[in-house]
Chain A
Amino acid sequence: MNVIEIKDLQFSYDEHQPVLKGLSLTVKEGEFLAVIGRNASGKSTLARLINGLISPLSGEITVLNIDARKKENLYEIRKNVGIVFQNPDNQMVASIVEDDVVFGPENLGIPREEIGERLEFSLKETGTAEFRESMASKLSGGQKQRVAIAGILAIKPKILILDESTSMLDPRGREEVMSVVKKLNRKEKMTVITITHYMDEVVDCDRVAVLNDGVIVKTGTPKEIFSDEKLLEATGMEPPVSMKISLALNKLGVNTPLTLDKQTLLNELLKLTKKPE
């Protein structure tokens, strides 16, 4: 089933500079989709359109069969689509972690007992229970983003969008956040859309959509995308290291399978260095 269907979407912040120029994309239930593309290619705009924070000039967006262009549907859509934004400091409402996590369900008018259950669930899933009573300002970037995810989880959305949520984090924080998200995708069957420019985060996704100049130019598995050298060149993207090495080796005439997995590459390289008996 498709949870999100976007057809011929156009959007611009001002008349002379269209941001999205007829973008089409479908997202399947339970999949882990990465949207990549260079700066100012319209990635974040896409996230905001899906959530109804902004509305399109023309084209269609349906989220869970609900028309996202209609104002009266926004509340229903936001209940089902959670966004974790880029700056961890600018999305927390309360000073204390617990108070922030319950903000969403409070807005929805959920009864107290159930908010309590949702709070426990969200803290546990994101591994933030140990600092539930801490000041948000005392946490590291990775911890703050995990709290932000917990705040979204408490709303119980079906779709989670990460809008460059890891771009302000250090490598450790990035890993913390991504492992939480991967777990949610696998265990809770949550549909995840991650908008990113870290290619290493894309490797484990089910599907990648490449956004360039306001349109999706290609979708496919990470391997399909990163072995398409023409596409990478045209969109100015660099493949992950392991793919880069295997591509380079092939160019040199060394016959290695193209791979995104570091371990597989290592094994292949070891095989190559072994002298024939």
Chain B
Amino acid sequence: MLKDVVFGQYYPAKSPVHRMDPRSKIVLLILYIVMIFIVKNFWGFLLTGGLLLATVFLSKVPLKSMLRSVKAIIFIILFTFIINIFFHKEDGAKILWDVWLIRNVTDKSLYYAIFMALRLLLLVLGSSILTLTTTPVSLTDGIESLLKPLSYIKFPVHELALIMSIALRFIPTLMEETERIIAAQKARGADFESGNLFKRAKALLPVLIPLITSAFRRAEELGDAMDARCYNGSKNRTKYKKLKFSLVDLFGTVLSLTVLAGVILCNLYLGATI
């Protein structure tokens, strides 16, 4: 459980996708999401789905880990599917099924529902590739670097990134502490397992309060330690770690742009069905 929180879903492996610059991964993911939303027919999905499959294959992430992220939102996918199948209305639609409870299912609404479900599925799978192949730490680095231009309009980019990385740094520490406090309270006879939901939530109070107090104490000590190490905000600060745009990134960008062009061509010449 601890590992899950610290690394997110990160799946460690040596692959070209893992090696990519976090910045290009984030930008390409955004591009991919845009593609999925402009796709107007199934040919477009064939292309974006192909891009996704190729990336999964190159990243060496097993399909099982990919499917785990789908499982988390399977309910949402089913829900949109059902809503669309019953309530999507279009002129000239042929009714396929209209018996008691299940009414108004037309060929158009079935098509639309499948299309939307597929869109969501591709969206989730694509995003999970990013979190599966990038550690939270380098994700933070990537976000900081991408937001850099905002610092010209006085947006505290460095501070934001530092907050994120300190939060990540303290997750395992606070998790450990939670376990310790729970054990200590259990030793004094606290009961966390029985009773209804409300009772159990209430039982957590003696865990949360010491945890929060200790978090504040830690924050204070960390602040002192940072002061003692000459922390002075982003003023005159250098950065040791440099992100590098390499050949893999170039390849990824070219591939994605090619698929984008393909999607646009599909939309223009193969008919927009949505």
Residues of A participating in the B interface, judged by any CB pair closer than 8 Å: 48, 51, 53, 75, 78-79, 81-83, 85, 87, 89-96, 99, 102-112, 115-116, 119, 135-137, 151-152, 155
Within 8 Å by CB of A107, from B6, B176, B222, B231, lies B231
Tell whether, in the assembled complex, residue B229 and residue A85 are in contact, meaning their CB atoms are under 8 Å apart: no
Q: Please encode chain B, from 1 to 42, with 1 for each CB lying within 8 Å of some chain A CB and 0 for all others.
A: 000001000000000000000000000000000000000000
Tell whether, in the assembled complex, residue B231 and residue A51 are in contact, meaning their CB atoms are under 8 Å apart: no
Q: Please encode chain B, from 227 to 244, with 1 for each CB lying within 8 Å of some chain A CB and 0 for all others.
A: 111111000111111100
Cα–Cα distance between A82 and B228 once the two chains are bound (Å): 7
Give the contacts of B167-183 with A (CB-CB under 8 A).
168-169, 172-173, 176
By a CB distance below 8 angstroms, the chain A residues around B222 are 90-91, 93
Cα–Cα distance between A80 and B165 once the two chains are bound (Å): 27
Within 8 Å by CB of A99, from B6, B173, B241, lies B241
In the complex, residue of chain B having the shortest beta-carbon distance to the beta carbon of A54: B224
Tell whether, in the assembled complex, residue B225 and residue A107 are in contact, meaning their CB atoms are under 8 Å apart: no
Least Cβ–Cβ distance between B219 and chain A, in angstroms: 9
Tell whether, in the assembled complex, residue A103 and residue B229 are in contact, meaning their CB atoms are under 8 Å apart: yes
Tell whether, in the assembled complex, residue B230 and residue A89 are in contact, meaning their CB atoms are under 8 Å apart: no
Least Cβ–Cβ distance between A104 and chain B, in angstroms: 4
In the complex, residue of chain A having the shortest beta-carbon distance to the beta carbon of B175: A137
Interface size on B, residues (CB 8 A): 29
Residues of B participating in the A interface, judged by any CB pair closer than 8 Å: 6, 137, 162, 165-166, 168-169, 172-173, 176, 218, 221-222, 224-232, 236-242
Tell whether, in the assembled complex, residue B137 and residue A95 are in contact, meaning their CB atoms are under 8 Å apart: yes
Cα–Cα distance between A82 and B227 once the two chains are bound (Å): 10
By a CB distance below 8 angstroms, the chain B residues around A155 are 229-230
Q: A79-B230, A137-B173 are in contact. Are A102 and B240 (CB under 8 A)?
A: yes
Least Cβ–Cβ distance between A193 and chain B, in angstroms: 14
In the A-B complex, list the 9 residue pairs whose CB atoms are closest, starting with the nearest: A91-B225, A137-B172, A90-B221, A109-B236, A102-B240, A104-B229, A107-B230, A95-B169, A115-B240
Within 8 Å by CB of A94, from B165, B231, B237, lies B165
Tell whether, in the assembled complex, residue A93 and residue B221 are in contact, meaning their CB atoms are under 8 Å apart: no
Tell whether, in the assembled complex, residue B221 and residue A85 are in contact, meaning their CB atoms are under 8 Å apart: yes
Least Cβ–Cβ distance between B98 and chain A, in angstroms: 58
By a CB distance below 8 angstroms, the chain A residues around B173 are 89, 137
23 sampled A-B residue pairs with Cβ under 8 A:
A51-B228, A53-B224, A53-B227, A75-B232, A78-B229, A81-B228, A83-B228, A87-B221, A89-B218, A90-B221, A91-B221, A93-B165, A94-B165, A104-B229, A106-B238, A108-B230, A116-B240, A119-B240, A135-B6, A135-B172, A137-B169, A151-B229, A155-B229
By a CB distance below 8 angstroms, the chain B residues around A91 are 221-222, 225
Cα–Cα distance between A104 and B229 once the two chains are bound (Å): 5
Tell whether, in the assembled complex, residue B240 and residue A104 are in contact, meaning their CB atoms are under 8 Å apart: no
By a CB distance below 8 angstroms, the chain B residues around A53 are 224, 227-228
Cα–Cα distance between A111 and B237 once the two chains are bound (Å): 9
In the complex, residue of chain B having the shortest beta-carbon distance to the beta carbon of A118: B240
By a CB distance below 8 angstroms, the chain B residues around A90 are 218, 221-222, 225
By a CB distance below 8 angstroms, the chain A residues around B231 are 103, 107
Tell whether, in the assembled complex, residue B218 and residue A112 are in contact, meaning their CB atoms are under 8 Å apart: no
Cα–Cα distance between A87 and B170 once the two chains are bound (Å): 13
